[in-house]
Amino acid sequence: MITADLLGIESRSIFVIDKAFAKKDYVPLDLSKDNKVLRSVDVASSDKLGEYVNEQIQLKGGKIAFGGYLETRNIYQRSAYFNQKTLPEDERNIHLGVDIWVEAGTNVLAALDGEVHSFNNNLNHGDYGPTIILKHSQGDFCYYTLYGHLSEESLLELKIGKRFKQGEAIAQLGSSEVNGDYPPHLHFQIILDIENYLGDYPGVSSLKTLEFYKKNCPDPNLLLGLT
Ligand SMILES: [Zn+2]
């Protein structure tokens, strides 16, 4: 069982999006296949999905939306990248991070003190687009945080090993043109064992591999405290 203590975290109210948005501005967003309202939204269209997200934010009186850890979603059916399956249990549709929905250009902050492990522009349709992975050391124990769907400019000045302080801006959110064709949002994920990945790590699991990924990618709300 992964706890905040093991990760060396003193507070569950860490920010990964510009602190201009207070925690009270965050409202939950359900993008699961069980959300019946979503069945009438063309989720394959980033514009239509974006309209739905913004409507939900307004309806709930917030400024920014969040959600998605271990949510089973239909949205990935639009991408060949997620659909190289032959059996239903191989379908990759279970989300392993938290998504935070807010406009492009918004600052993304380092969750904790750390250094750049790797970065890459992941260009498959429905993929992360520009992505940064930070490495955090806690005694002998290392773990990682992944930030996906960033702007292309966010990667320009970056170097592996560059250090960031907790709360420092590491990037800005990208638009749908560069972020894998989604409404602007941050995909934020904790990764314990990064395996051999560089600038990328699965953010969506199939049912078959879920037991492994659930353990390797604990709930980001251990840090964010949004739920
Ligand atoms: Zn995501």
Q: Which band of pLDDT confidence, cut at 50, 70 and 90, is reported for residue 4? A: low
The reply to whether 10 falls in a domain is no
The reply to whether 146 falls in a domain is yes
Ligand 1 centroid – CA 95 distance (Å): 6
Token pair in block for residue 177: 């043109």
The reply to whether 193 falls in a domain is yes
Each residue's pLDDT tens digit, 193-202: 999 999 999 9
Each residue's pLDDT tens digit, 125-160: 899 999 999 999 988 889 999 999 999 999 999 999
The reply to whether 1 falls in a domain is no
Residue 140 buriedness (CB in 10 A; 0-12 / 13-18 / 19+): exposed
The total number of structural domains that make up the chain:
1
The reply to whether 79 falls in a domain is yes
The reply to whether 11 falls in a domain is no
Ligand 1 centroid – CA 106 distance (Å): 16
In which element (H, E) is residue 57 found?
helix 46-59
Q: Which residues pair with 163 in a beta bridge?
A: 115
For the cut 70, the answer to whether the pLDDT of residue 10 exceeds it is no
Each residue's pLDDT tens digit, 158-187: 999 999 999 999 999 999 999 999 999 999
Ligand 1 centroid – CA 96 distance (Å): 7
Token pair in block for residue 102: 């807010």
Q: Which band of pLDDT confidence, cut at 50, 70 and 90, is reported for residue 118? A: very high
Ligand 1 centroid – CA 5 distance (Å): 25
Chain-wide mean pLDDT for the chain?
Answer: 93
Ligand 1 centroid – CA 68 distance (Å): 7
Which DSSP string do the residues of 150-162 spell out, in sequence order?
A: B-GGGGTT--TT-
Ligand 1 centroid – CA 138 distance (Å): 26
For the segment 197-218, the average pLDDT, to the nearest whole number, is 96
The reply to whether 13 falls in a domain is no
Ligand 1 centroid – CA 46 distance (Å): 14
**pLDDT value at position 6?**
67
Ligand 1 centroid – CA 99 distance (Å): 5
**pLDDT value at position 116?**
98
Low-confidence winner among 7-21, 35-49, 206-220 (lowest mean pLDDT): 7-21
For the segment 206-218, the average pLDDT, to the nearest whole number, is 95
For the cut 80, the answer to whether the pLDDT of residue 5 exceeds it is no
Q: Which band of pLDDT confidence, cut at 50, 70 and 90, is reported for residue 1? A: low
The answer to pTM > 0.85 is yes
Ligand 1 centroid – CA 148 distance (Å): 8
Which domain range does residue 42 map to? 23-220
Ligand 1 centroid – CA 198 distance (Å): 18
Each residue's pLDDT tens digit, 36-95: 999 899 988 999 999 999 999 999 999 999 999 999 998 888 777 777 766 778 888 999
Ligand 1 centroid – CA 18 distance (Å): 18
For the segment 3-24, the average pLDDT, to the nearest whole number, is 83
Bigger pLDDT: 216 or 5?
216
The reply to whether 177 falls in a domain is yes
CATH assignment of the domain containing 129: 2.70.70.10
Decide: 76 and 92 in contact? Cβ < 8 Å: yes
Q: Cβ–Cβ contacts within 10 Å for residue 55, how many?
A: 12
Ligand 1 centroid – CA 59 distance (Å): 22
| Ligand 1 (single-atom ion) residues, CB below 5 Å | 97, 99, 187
Ligand 1 centroid – CA 188 distance (Å): 7
Residue that is written with structure tokens 């109210």 in the block? 13
